[in-house]
Structure 1
């Protein structure tokens, strides 16, 4: 077993136009001041890093790591969630997702997808140059508009969508393999990879590609009413990253999982700051430790109620209190009799007592 690394903070929800959230040096110093030891960095945030340089220059990456270290943190992973979303977009969502791409690509889905694929490749390259062995991404979605089978789905529709999704990601996963980097897909509603079954459908088309991993975020499972504890047992070998995000699900006679198109604060299922929801993080940290998870516990602040800076500060303490420093010896070592093999055989009735 090993001790989970952390606490880390995903910077995406904090990056902004005002200090200390508008540049890499200030935001990393702020994160360290909140109690974090690491930061997860969105690769598409130009005020955090220059992705072109990070993908091509060891010197640039060494400088970036050095600046983080001076501020008291290290870079845990890079995230390409938004670019990954654009690898596969159903036309129904073209307008909604155009905002994730540069302005000159909007209205041109083919060019937008080509840009997104290049961004993923650069994030893989940058991860390798930074000495990171995993990165985060969304899978994108072609089948998501048809997740509920009404009207009846035509035979082969879902299969065709997953065939295409795999075809788009296979070259990227092969590039990741060449660079020693895992792509950890966040299992998330809105993505074609939104639960264990859909992840398996993807893996089956990828010949169980060794670089296809999961970003485990139990909040998304709780809101789907999926058993997020059993999920750990099933997919232990595929879980490469961990977001510490809480949620609560309180169905009523008026709404349930689908939420009735309500705002987040008015939904039966809503995200909360760590410790304020219903996720059993005590069991999660125990299981991840027992299964030898070697990554970071990274807080992703998304809360319908709490101020983000309060959530960040409390989240660091929450993770620190939940990380289990693994033992180097068994609790009953004091009773070790120090017997040898001959004694073992005698205890089994297979040897002679002296």
Structure 2
């Protein structure tokens, strides 16, 4: 396995500066954010460390040379919009950019894209299933043609007033994943799996990779802490931010020794990328870099 981090937490650094910082800490890889340049729509979004819309042959060579220079590879090109948003014109902007990411991943020989399936939060899963299929069948087919694998993150995306109550991601549970894979049975797509989202949902966070090892394309290392007293006060159907806090690895409820032990037994040998969404470390660039250093020191004995 290779230990890396998600570049969204260091938006003010360039791609080369991120690669240099990753190398200085000891990280093996980097999930590189590839949003279209512009204003961020939410925290950790809108980060462009690699602009796929202006990717020339010379730039591809430069990026490949940088990976060799610093000894840090790009594990995936990341972009996390809502391709099933109610406004179909807006959704097309997202799906068009996803296709551009797939093309870029093939050109860069990264062969992995990480993203969200999306969801219309005001409609049931059943009601929007035909649109899900119409949107994702051609995207997955395009990825297969380019030999690129798509890792779908399992975050419920129910954390802001704009995402409440249904969330903006369908791919939140094994029941939904199984239906997706049955209806689009292509090996070029699976999970960018994050255990913290199963902590939120009170589910066994080791079951997904034990049950679907062939669908593990990429892994996020993020922790979460449940405040049991606050949960008991507000209830599990209240807003998650009332009793749920994202943390860096080792400061939440994930047993990382158990997690990586099971993951290793399944034969997974891909990237495990730290995703920092811990507000404790967000005050400055130096604090966010400290979060990545601390996460590295904690996880490296497990991930090697």
State the TM bucket, normalised to the shorter chain: 0.7 to 0.9
Question: Residues 318 and 255 from structure 1, CA distance in 2 versus in 1: closer, same or farther, beyond 3 angstroms?
Answer: same
Q: For residue 32 of structure 1, what is the aligned residue in structure 2?
A: 23
Q: For residue 133 of structure 1, what is the aligned residue in structure 2?
A: 111
Query: In 1, Cα distance between the equivalents of 2:112 and 2:183?
Result: 21
Shift of 1:45: 5.6
Q: Counterpart of 1:183 in 2: which secondary structure?
A: strand
8 Å CA contact 1:244, 1:299 repeated in 2:
yes
Shift of 1:77: 0.9
8 Å CA contact 1:301, 1:312 repeated in 2:
yes
Q: For residue 53 of structure 2, what is the aligned residue in structure 1?
A: 52
Q: Counterpart of 1:122 in 2: which secondary structure?
A: helix
Question: Residues 126 and 13 from structure 1, CA distance in 2 versus in 1: closer, same or farther, beyond 3 angstroms?
Answer: same
The reply to whether residue 89 of structure 1 matches residue 85 of structure 2 is yes
Shift of 1:320: 1.3
Query: In 2, Cα distance between the equivalents of 1:184 and 1:256?
Result: 32
Once the two structures are superposed, the pairs formed by residues 196-207 of structure 1 within 5 Å of their partners are 196-206=174-184
Gaps of 5+ in 1: 91-108, 147-156, 325-354
1:237 to 209, 214, 226: 214
Q: Counterpart of 2:206 in 1: which secondary structure?
A: helix
Shift of 1:204: 2.5
8 Å CA contact 1:251, 1:269 repeated in 2:
no
Query: In 2, Cα distance between the equivalents of 1:26 and 1:45?
Result: 20
Q: For residue 32 of structure 2, what is the aligned residue in structure 1?
A: 41
Q: For residue 61 of structure 2, what is the aligned residue in structure 1?
A: 62
Q: For residue 15 of structure 1, what is the aligned residue in structure 2?
A: 11
Q: Counterpart of 1:188 in 2: which secondary structure?
A: coil
The reply to whether residue 318 of structure 1 matches residue 301 of structure 2 is no
Once the two structures are superposed, the pairs formed by residues 256-275 of structure 1 within 5 Å of their partners are 256-258=235-237, 260-261=238-239, 264=241, 267-275=242-250
Once the two structures are superposed, the pairs formed by residues 1-354 of structure 1 within 5 Å of their partners are 4-5=1-2, 7-16=3-12, 21=13, 23-44=14-35, 46=37, 47-54=48-55, 57-82=56-81, 85=82, 87-90=83-86, 109-142=87-120, 144-145=121-122, 158-190=125-157, 191-206=169-184, 208-252=185-229, 253-258=232-237, 260-261=238-239, 264=241, 267-306=242-281, 307-324=287-304
Shift of 1:32: 2.1
Query: In 1, Cα distance between the equivalents of 2:186 and 2:126?
Result: 18
The runs of at least 4 consecutive aligned structure 1 residues that moved more than 6 Å come to none
Give the length in aligned residue pairs.
276
1:90-119 superposed Cα distances (whole Å, 9 cap, x missing partner): 3xxxxxxxxxxxxxxxxxx34322221111
Query: In 2, Cα distance between the equivalents of 1:81 and 1:270?
Result: 20
TM-score by length of 2: 0.84
1:278-323 superposed Cα distances (whole Å, 9 cap, x missing partner): 1011112112212111311111011142342221111122221112
Shift of 1:24: 1.8
Query: In 2, Cα distance between the equivalents of 1:80 and 1:200?
Result: 23
Shift of 1:231: 2.2
